Structure 1
Amino acid sequence: MKNLKKLGLALLIIIALLTIAGFFLPRQVHVERSLTIKAAPAAIFTEINTVRSWPRWSPWHGLDPQMQVIYSGPPSGEGAGYSWTSANSNVGNGTLTVTRSQPFERIDISMDFDENGTATGSYLLRPAGQGTRLTWTMDTDLGANPLERYLGLFLDKLVGADFEKGLANLQKLVEAPAATAQR
């Protein structure tokens, strides 16, 4: 019985220390990935700025073909957006809105993942030799919850992998010979 009390006390101390340590972890998380695409900024910009084109390249649309999407606002540019619902836990539910659209240079978005919080994102387009350097970013505030802050330690790796897939999808889409012939 004495050993069980010691074990319980030790476990309680470990939990308390981990909780306290969690408060010192960063609450702000930044995820960023870049890729140089052999296409003009205009071709890439059009695919991102037109939210109805996102199923063609977004990594999350590919995870759940049954995802329900409702578009809102204009078809492209500032105010364009959509809400989605998905039974797939890797996709979840939420809304996305284009908050800034600076032709051929930058697109900013806001996202609300319902119970999973909010985030902002950007797509930055910069000329790079014969192509365009596309940088995709996301920023979120995890708040005061120490458990969420621990999860934030893995967010760059988890979301970053999806960003890499989305950038590769965009690259295939706009570099394809058919895409070039259509533009």
Structure 2
Amino acid sequence: MMRVLEFIVALIIVVVVAVVVGVVMPGNGHVERSLVVGKDMRQVYDVLSNFRRFPEYSVQREYDRNIKFDFSGKPYGPGAELSWTSQDDKVGNGKLTIASADPSFDKIDSTAKKSTIVWNLDNDWRGNDKHFTLDLERQGSRGQLTKITWSYDVAYGFNLINRYSSLYIHGDPDSFIQFTLNNLQNVLASVQNVDYTKLIPYVEQTQATPVLLVSSSIERKGGLEALNDATDKAVAEIQAAAKKLGVNVVGPRIIYTTSYGDQTYTFDVALPISATSLNVGGQSIELTAAKAPDLAAAAASSSSANAAEGNADNNAPGGHDRFGRLIVDNNVRAFLAFGGPALKAVWNGTAAGVPQTRDLLKAYSQTHGYKFDEVVNRFYDIKVKQGDNEKTFDEYDVYLPLTWAPEQTPEQEAGIKPPTLDEGTEQAPAAAGTAAAPASAATTAQ
């Protein structure tokens, strides 16, 4: 009997001590990790102000390859939501919501030194008011580095079990931050280092348009003169083909960028026409959109004994090339261009600024999680206005076709309009020292 009483007393003492310890333990928990990345703060801010790229850098996918993510709410900024479900107990189910972002995205320019983004967290970790805080600080002599401080905070209240769980805050929450932060650095490294803070891009729903197209290429050392000569030659060839086909050219010239290399610029020149079906090779053929080439079929064809004969038949007028475009003659192709969402920016200046604008659009799409495919849905630009070379510059609409995009960009949703230009003032696509094009861009080809 005495031993039973001793056991009960000991148990009471343990319980009292446990309660006392629980009471004096902190009612909240905090853990943080920091990392400096070689990226402009606006790029880091944009990646963290939406969840579209979160599945790429979250450590959760390393724990469970079958995890399912679901996006909801706004596509960008406060109100954006991401939920996940997993059969792995280490991952579980949960939801993130962007609660705040300070300052707003349009204030994150070269003068902004700090910013803070807060993600509310709803999962099975113990505690209440769980949230991640992502503090960004511009660093480096030229402000081209960003320090990311990722912290986790939780309130335990007077729940003693929750308070004891603070002893394990350096377990799952800490490891989640550490590994996810390292993965985030890899995702950021894939984004080109350009400053797009002055870019005002819009998502435009483009309509399918019939075009005639001629492929061309130039040596970049030839500069704008070589580009203009090649473009004029292609346009003349397209106009001659349109006349033979009995169709009208109904819009300005379009340039599709195939490869903008260090030495050579390869591109297609196109003109919109008035008909969606053409009479070629004695038959009326309906135009269709271009498609990705069947590389396996092409390889099989090239290895066959009668490849030469087969290629000759395929290149005949009325046939289709490997992109599914109608062959009008040796050089001219026809297909349905555009159709679907595209990220659009306006460039006012010489053609030398178009490549920089393409780089800005690409980086912007990457940080905002917009998906694109440059193999078939290539960059294109439309020269919508010819300047007089004295008071006004040329005007180009530059497009990046998207395979996934929200209906509007944050700038578009906020009603921010592209900047208007003073007469004789060329629009600057990027801050000095951050543009992707070389310093001699003013004398290089598009």
- TM (normalized to structure 2)? 0.38
**1:158-182, Cα deviation, whole Å (9 max, x unpaired):** 422221111111112212xx43275
Q: Distance in 1 between matches of 2:171 and 2:139?
A: 26
Name the structure 2 match of 1:149: 163
SS in 2 for 1:91: coil
**Which blocks of at least 5 consecutive residues in structure 2 are unaligned?**
109-114, 194-361, 364-446
The within-5 A match list for 1:1-183 is 1-101=1-101, 102-103=104-105, 104=108, 105-113=115-123, 116=126, 117-129=128-140, 130-175=144-189, 178-180=190-192, 182-183=362-363
Q: Distance in 1 between matches of 2:61 and 2:43?
A: 20
SS in 1 for 2:178: helix
**1:7-35, Cα deviation, whole Å (9 max, x unpaired):** 33212311221122201211111221111
Q: Distance in 1 between matches of 2:57 and 2:37?
A: 14
Check whether the contact 1:44–1:170 (CA below 8 A) recurs between aligned residues. Answer: no
After the TM superposition, which of the residue ranges 88-97 and 106-115 deviates more from structure 2? 106-115
SS in 2 for 1:125: strand
Check whether the contact 2:69–2:84 (CA below 8 A) recurs between aligned residues. Answer: yes
User: For residues 131 and 66 of structure 1, do their structure 2 counterparts lie closer, same or farther at Cα, with a shift above 3 Å needed?
Assistant: same
Check whether the contact 1:26–1:149 (CA below 8 A) recurs between aligned residues. Answer: yes
SS in 2 for 1:120: strand
SS in 1 for 2:192: helix
Q: How far does residue 62 in structure 1 lie from its aligned partner after superposition?
A: 2.9
Q: Distance in 2 between matches of 1:22 and 1:154?
A: 14
SS in 1 for 2:19: helix
Higher RCO (Cα < 8 Å, 6 or more apart): 1
Check whether the contact 1:55–1:62 (CA below 8 A) recurs between aligned residues. Answer: no
RMSD value, Cα: 2.1
**1:45-77, Cα deviation, whole Å (9 max, x unpaired):** 222212121011112243222223221112121
**Which blocks of at least 5 consecutive residues in structure 1 are unaligned?**
none
**1:94-119, Cα deviation, whole Å (9 max, x unpaired):** 22111112334222111122584441
Q: Which structure would you say has the larger Rg? A: 2
Counterpart of 2:40, as a letter, is: A
Count matched residues: 181
Q: How far does residue 157 in structure 1 lie from its aligned partner after superposition?
A: 4.8
SS in 2 for 1:180: coil
SS in 2 for 1:138: strand
SS in 2 for 1:170: helix
After the TM superposition, which of the residue ranges 163-172 and 87-96 deviates more from structure 2? 87-96
Percent of pairs with identical residues: 28
- TM (normalized to structure 1)? 0.87
Q: Distance in 2 between matches of 1:115 and 1:165?
A: 18
Q: How far does residue 38 in structure 1 lie from its aligned partner after superposition?
A: 1.1
Q: Distance in 1 between matches of 2:62 and 2:5?
A: 51
After the TM superposition, which of the residue ranges 46-55 and 105-114 deviates more from structure 2? 105-114
Q: Distance in 2 between matches of 1:168 and 1:94?
A: 21
